[in-house]
């Protein structure tokens, strides 16, 4: 094959091997036949350069501590979602809304002083010194401000500070403000439950999932349905607030419970707080007095003593007790507030609220029998509900006959009011002890683990004497005997213990009511802390003058909401056994 003659090859046996540099120089000589090669080489160089830069950026994105910390923060935000909390009718009590928070990457902020100046100008509530300290660290991620408004976000964005960005967060809100605050509790800025049902939700495993790194959205979580009725809750709070103002009480609280399911329909403790601004909850006077406070419940405890006596078989509804004079024990004498100075039947002991007669019943049972009964009724141990905040009762360390005598009428044993409410529910629902719940449930579920603690006959007797106490003019519950609702109830007044001694001018008053008394569906509890004698109470500050009428107002307002319409014709045979036995007051 003929080759093209090349003069440069004359005298050479073979072409010399050229270096890369010589090849490149040859390539870029201004020759037309080299144009295509030059373009291809240039393209290759640029492609290589951009590949190196792109690869480096990807590497930095995947290995940067800053990016990973931001991603971890975002992951924590996603997992902090919480389920909605709704009332028994489906109304929202607590929910999440999306908010935006500002974060910074201190390593990427060039002029930290300028960043502090600009950020504090836009977010004036920031502490400049604290922010400067945060930005002065070598951390890859710090929060600048949590939960900012859209306007603030736009202003920060316009600053254009490198190393400052935004992350979406879930913020817990409570659209009904103070309504059911002590039941709901609240969640902190990290959306972690701190108290109430919010903490209960976390204790059921939500925080365990978050800690394990599972990304959970609110849509993945089934709403938590409470037993609370928001309508009744509002009405209860309003009536308690009015009563607190009228009787100039230091505090007040109330609860309504379904006696057949144990559901708490409403619970209020005043003063309360707005869970949207939970800092107020830290004030000492804003505790949940129904669950967390422990108090001597006064004469409302006489219902328990009466039930104990009748259920034991040692007493019956027609038994008589001597209340002609005070009951002496050593140097102590027990007397009656409204002394009758005569022998009383069991119903009379109840409606006259005789300390003497009640103490004699307890003595008839004995110290050990009395303790065993109260333990069975859940009064000597800490009550457990969904709320983490439940107080331990204060039980006398050495319990003798004198303790039994005073505890019989509500002095010397301090319990959480919800414990007492639970016990009264068992007294009137046929004798079944059902643990209270703040979650919606039906009667069949409630009775699965319930205990029969009283005979049904004893339960009818308690319903009878509580109704008698409201219908008889001598009874202390007449202030709550709202026409058409067949109410029964019992008052209680206890002197407060101040510096280890009973105060003669500071009372703690209680009222327990059942509705309707012939076949109770609901039990009501109202407590008032240090109510005062006001115009119309004739100098008295006992329960019949304050807690009683407040409860009556509550019943009149909420009974229709609870599905208990008024009936102006009394039931024909409300207490058939009591009628057959000829109990005092049936004729």
Which 3 state secondary structure label does DSSP give 242?
helix
What tokens were used for 553? 């107002």
C-alpha span between 336 and 321 (Å, rounded): 13
Element (H, E) at 350: helix 346-351
CA atoms within 13 A on the CB side of 79: 18
C-alpha span between 106 and 137 (Å, rounded): 6
Q: How far is CA 334 from CA 395, 411, 497, 510, 562, in A?
A: 20, 12, 18, 21, 41
List, in sequence order, the alpha helices (H) in 377-503.
Answer: 401-408, 417-428, 443-446, 456-471
Q: Are 269 and 290 in contact (CB under 8 A)?
A: yes
C-alpha span between 141 and 72 (Å, rounded): 10
224-225 and 85-86 strand pairing: parallel
Q: Are 286 and 271 in contact (CB under 8 A)?
A: yes
411's CB contacts (< 8 A; 6+ apart) are: 296, 298, 494
In terms of residues, how long is the chain?
A: 587
C-alpha span between 154 and 149 (Å, rounded): 9
The DSSP string of 456-513 is: HHHHHHHHHHHHHHHHSTTSTTGGG--TTS--EEEEEEEEEEETTEEEEEEEEEEEEE
Nearest by Cα to 447 from 249, 242, 262: 262
Positions marked catalytic:
299
Which 3 state secondary structure label does DSSP give 369?
helix
Element (H, E) at 348: helix 346-351
290's CB contacts (< 8 A; 6+ apart) are: 182, 253, 254, 255, 267, 269, 416, 417, 418, 421, 525, 527
Which 3 state secondary structure label does DSSP give 147?
strand
Which 3 state secondary structure label does DSSP give 188?
coil
Apex 397 CA angle, 396 and 400, nearest 5 = 70
Q: Strand locations in 291-387, DSSP E?
A: 295-296, 320-322, 327-329, 332-334, 343-345
The burial of 583, by beta-carbon neighbours within 10 Å (0-12 exposed, 13-18 middle, 19 or more buried), is given as buried
C-alpha span between 472 and 479 (Å, rounded): 11
């Amino acid at each position: 094959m003929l080759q093209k003659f090349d003069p440069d090859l004359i005298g050479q046996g073979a072409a010399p091997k050229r270096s890369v540099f010589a090849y490149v120089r040859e390539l870029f000589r201004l020759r037309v036949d080299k144009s295509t090669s030059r373009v291809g080489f240039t393209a290759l160089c640029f492609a290589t350069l951009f590949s190196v830069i792109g690869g480096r950026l990807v590497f930095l994105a995947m290995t940067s501590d800053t990016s990973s910390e931001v991603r971890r923060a975002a992951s924590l935000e996603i997992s902090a979602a919480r389920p909605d909390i709704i009332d028994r009718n489906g109304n929202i009590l607590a929910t999440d809304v999306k908010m935006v928070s500002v974060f910074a990457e201190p390593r990427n902020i060039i002029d930290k002083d300028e960043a502090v100046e600009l950020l504090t100008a836009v977010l004036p509530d920031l502490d400049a010194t604290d922010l400067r300290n945060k930005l002065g660290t070598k951390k890859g991620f710090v929060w600048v401000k949590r939960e900012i408004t859209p306007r603030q976000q736009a202003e920060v964005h316009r600053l254009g500070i490198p190393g400052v960005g935004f992350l979406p967060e879930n913020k817990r809100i409570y659209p009904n403000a103070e309504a059911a605050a002590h039941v709901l509790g609240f969640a902190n800025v990290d959306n972690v439950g701190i108290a109430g049902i919010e903490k209960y939700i976390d204790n059921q495993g939500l925080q365990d999932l978050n800690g394990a790194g599972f990304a959970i959205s609110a849509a993945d979580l089934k709403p938590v349905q409470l037993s609370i009725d928001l309508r009744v809750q509002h009405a209860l709070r309003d009536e308690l607030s009015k009563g607190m103002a009228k009787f100039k009480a230091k505090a007040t609280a109330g609860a309504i419970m379904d006696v057949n399911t144990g559901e708490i329909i409403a619970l209020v403790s005043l003063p309360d707080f707005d869970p949207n601004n939970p800092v107020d909850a830290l004030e000492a006077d804003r505790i949940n007095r129904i669950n967390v406070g422990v108090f001597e419940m006064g004469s409302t405890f006489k219902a328990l003593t009466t039930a104990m006596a009748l259920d034991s078989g040692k007493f019956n509804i027609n038994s008589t007790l001597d209340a002609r004079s005070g009951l002496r024990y050593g140097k102590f004498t027990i007397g009656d507030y409204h002394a009758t100075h005569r022998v009383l039947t069991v119903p009379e002991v109840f409606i006259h609220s005789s300390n003497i007669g009640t103490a004699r019943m307890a003595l008839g049972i004995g110290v050990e029998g009395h303790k065993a009964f109260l333990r069975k009724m859940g009064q000597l141990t800490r009550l457990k509900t969904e709320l983490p905040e439940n107080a331990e009762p204060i039980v006398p360390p050495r319990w003798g006959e004198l303790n039994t005598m005073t505890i019989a009428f509500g002095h010397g044993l301090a319990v959480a009011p919800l414990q007492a409410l639970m016990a009264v529910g068992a007294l009137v629902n046929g004798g079944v002890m059902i643990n209270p719940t703040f979650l919606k449930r039906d009667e069949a579920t409630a009775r699965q683990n319930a205990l029969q603690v009283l005979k049904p006959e004893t339960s009818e007797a308690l319903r009878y004497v509580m109704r008698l106490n409201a219908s008889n003019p001598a009874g202390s519950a007449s202030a709550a005997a709202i026409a058409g609702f067949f109410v029964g109830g019992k008052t209680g007044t206890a002197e407060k213990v101040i510096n280890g001694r009973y105060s003669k001018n500071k009372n703690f008053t209680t009222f327990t009511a059942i509705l309707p008394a012939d076949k109770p569906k609901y039990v009501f509890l109202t407590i008032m802390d240090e109510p005062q004698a006001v115009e119309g109470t004739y100098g008295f500050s006992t329960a019949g003058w304050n807690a009683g009428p407040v409860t009556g107002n509550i019943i009149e307002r909420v009974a229709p909401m609870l599905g208990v319409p008024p009936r102006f014709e009394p039931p024909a045979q409300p207490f058939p056994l009591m009628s057959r036995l000829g109990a005092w007051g049936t004729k």
